[in-house]
Structure 1
Amino acid sequence: MYGEQLQATVCAVGDVRKRAVIYTISGTHGVEGYAGSMAQISMLRGNSSMFPRGVRMVHLHLINPYGASYILKENEQNADQIKNVAMYYTLNYDNPILQRLMDQIDLPNLGNVSVQQNAFAVFAQLIADYGEEAVNLAMKTGQGKRPQGIAYFGPSKSWSSQTEEYVVNKYLPYASHILLIDWHTAVGPYGAWSFVPFDNESEAAFKRWASNDLISPYDLGVPTGGQLPYSTIKTKTGARRVIRGFWEAGTYNVTMETNALFILRLYCRFYSNITDPFCKDIISKTQEYFYPQANQWKKLTYDAINNVLPKVLSGFAAEVNIGAKLIISDLRIIMGIIIGLFLFRI
């Protein structure tokens, strides 16, 4: 409901002193948070397979409540939260492709059909000049100079980034092993979940735990001087290992019309209003792209995540518990040697 107070919610389950923490985040990209919320609820309501022994669960629900409320990927600063949490706003980075796009499409008048046609022509010319791969990479990398543009880093640390930092400091103080899952939608086959690991260690871990399930390469661009999202968690917590990745529920393939939809959503946000029939249609299409309304899609994603999650969670917990047992075993051996040497000297 428009005008209501917005908030993010934290649900922590398990002993705060547990070394192994499963940390999940939904709503990083606002409207994508509805599917992530379903996955978090499944973990809370599921049987023991969803809550392996020896772990603590921390769920951060709808970290970007503004985007979720207004059917946007972006937050209240028009920032892409995944880029903001990675602190790309500190880099003074510009993106010439996106700069040219935003400067030439006449965003304030994009409700006009002829202006829309010109915007399509601008986008087509960018592809002709730079190549489709470079344009796609530019869209995924983002920019820090156009506050009303797409994939904006934000002007400073957002409320969501501050909240995420607070949650890590407060709820993960003793973690030595962390499994971080950031729930998203759009990437991958319709109704299926694909894990997108941030690094080789995370990819190898997922393949051990769920070898037959879908995995997609991390293909978001990182601006010059930047680092991958959530890279600071290991330093902040002192954890020995952080397995991290997006978990994406597939919706529809990206097309030229999809990219146009993202631009038109900016027009509706800044230069029109939600009562405009044109913008009502754009908002409806945005929601459908990121959160399909068909019961079939909802059932597919629900069944799929409830099938693969227990394997991943139990695999993570088992490796941590095995490591703990090995440490105890090693300590016993060392103590035995020390006692033996002591008795020998006597």
Structure 2
Amino acid sequence: MNEDIVDAAKNHFSSNYFEARQKFRDFVRESAVGEAAAYPSPAHGPRGEELSTDVAWFGDRRAAKVAIMVSATHGVEGYCGSAAQVDWLAGRGYERLKSDEAVLLIHAINPYGFAWDRRVTQEGCDLNRNFVDFDAPLPQNEDYDLLAESLVPSELEGPSFDAAEASLAKFRTAHGELAFRKARTSGQYRHPTGIFFGGFAPTVARQTLERVVSDYGIESRRRVLVIDYHTGLGPYGYGELQCEQASGILGYQRARDIFGSSVTSPDLGTSSAVALHGTQDDYWQRLLGDRHVYVCLEYGTYAPEAARPLLRADHWLYAFRQREIDTDLGYEIRRCVKQHFYPDNADWKEMVLYRSRQVHRQMIEGLRL
């Protein structure tokens, strides 16, 4: 039986990564049926703490059908995904599994970003742009190249900052908002201190996901459903089920068969996100093809334009002001990023859990189609 939504919203969200990890571990242990494991990270927390990605398996290890829930792909967005996972555990969702079904929970796949309230990994990469094939030519983003120094300028005030903002405004006027969003967010592979940087090689977080998948034999399963929790796009509190371009229209149709008509797709222009390079679904598509269904459960927070100066400040801090990371300035930048991607408000938390419970029910029912 699920806990009352108001109480659940109070109890299942956390104030930091370490509290979230402990809640996850406690509920897995209390289940008495979950098989727990931890994958230590070489990164450390703000006070030198040890970090880890924690996983839990529920059901028969030989199950042909597996549902996977992944939190904190984008670090600071992990508050939402962690709470959804903890809520599923608290509601004893594992008791509804049949003999040939299993659930794999992956808590904080990017523990560095979660602990530091950043969207990026310890390498400064956007993990959801890092799943490209690095043995093949990397995607090109010439418009980002053109705007790189303006998107993350060396100063956040004064003449050079004003010139950067003027350059961005000129591009937006000439090419439109959609072109600007694509240039800024679709992914880039040349500017390591820039935003939405996909990396020069697989990140530690990507390698951790690949290890987990290998350790649990996911590639051999007959049916795999993946929910990847995110925040920051769409209407406040609404959980949009986004497909990614990697699975194409057939992947979108498979998702619709399970989750209904609220599923969106960048191929159809219905998603609040633009088409992206190197998403997690690129990995699942390569690994499983039509045996998988991937959805990004994206919860809206505040206007995307409000995030632009926050992410700019975060990347500016680590690119140009590393000595100030542990000063009041650094703390304030992290606080603002966290506040944007994790609205610490009762209404938002309740909306998150209402939607996640619906999606979790659909997920389990979808294993049986």
Query: Normalised by the size of structure 2, how large is the TM-score?
Result: 0.76
Structure with greater strand percent: 2
Asked if the contact 1:88/1:153 (under 8 Å) is kept, the reply is no
Q: Which amino acid aligns with 2:91?
A: G
Aligned ranges for residues 141-220 of structure 1 at < 5 Å?
A: 141-171=186-216, 172=218, 174-198=220-244, 199-211=248-260, 214-218=262-266, 219-220=273-274
Task: Give 1:287 shift.
Answer: 0.8
* 2: CA distance, partners of 1:265 / 1:203: 34
Which residue is equivalent to 1:37?
82
Distance 1:300 1:173 in 2: 34
In 2, the alpha carbon distance for the partners of 1:182 and 1:312 equals 12
Q: CA deviation at 1:65?
A: 0.9
Question: Aligned residue for 2:275?
Answer: 221
8 Å CA contact 1:80–1:153 kept in 2: the answer is yes
Q: Pick the structure with greater CA Rg.
A: 1
Read off the aligned partner of 1:221 and give its amino acid letter: A
The count of corresponding residues between Structure 1 and Structure 2 is 311
Shift of 1:301: 0.9
AA aligned to 1:300 is M
CA contact (8 A) 2:152 2:316 kept: no
Partner of 1:282: 333
* Displacement after TM superposition at 1:141 (Å): 1.6
Query: Which secondary structure does the structure 2 equivalent of 1:60 belong to?
Result: strand
Measured after TM superposition, the shift of residue 277 of structure 1 is 4.0
Q: Distance in 2 between matches of 1:100 and 1:50?
A: 53
CA distance in 2, matches of 1:105, 1:211: 38
2:312 counterpart (249, 252, 263): 263
Q: How many Å apart are 1:131 and its aligned residue? A: 2.5
Which residue of 162, 169, 182 maps to 1:124? 169
Work out whether 1:313 is the aligned partner of 2:354.
Answer: no
Deviation per CA, 1:148-167, whole angstroms, max 9, x where unpaired?
A: 11111112111111111111
**Displacement of 1:174 after TM fit?**
3.6
What residue is the counterpart of 2:300 in the other structure? 250
Structure 2: 5+ residue stretches without partners: 1-44, 267-272
Note the C-alpha offset of 1:136: 0.7
**Match of 1:12?**
57
Contact 2:109 2:205 in 1 (8 A): yes
Determine the structure 1 residue equivalent to 2:12.
none
Identity %: 24
Amino acid corresponding to residue 205 of structure 2 in structure 1: S
Deviations 1:233-253 (A, max 9, x none): 45546x751001211111112
Distance of 1:80 and 1:244 partners within structure 2 = 19
Residues 64-117 of structure 1: CA deviation (Å, up to 9, x unaligned): 11111111111111111011123468534442222222234673333x344333
RMSD: 2.5
Alpha-carbon distance in structure 2 between the residues aligned to 1:263 and 1:61: 27
Aligned partners of 1:185 and 1:251 also within 8 Å: yes
Aligned residue for 1:187, secondary structure, equals: strand
TM-score by length of 1: 0.81
1:81 corresponds to? 127
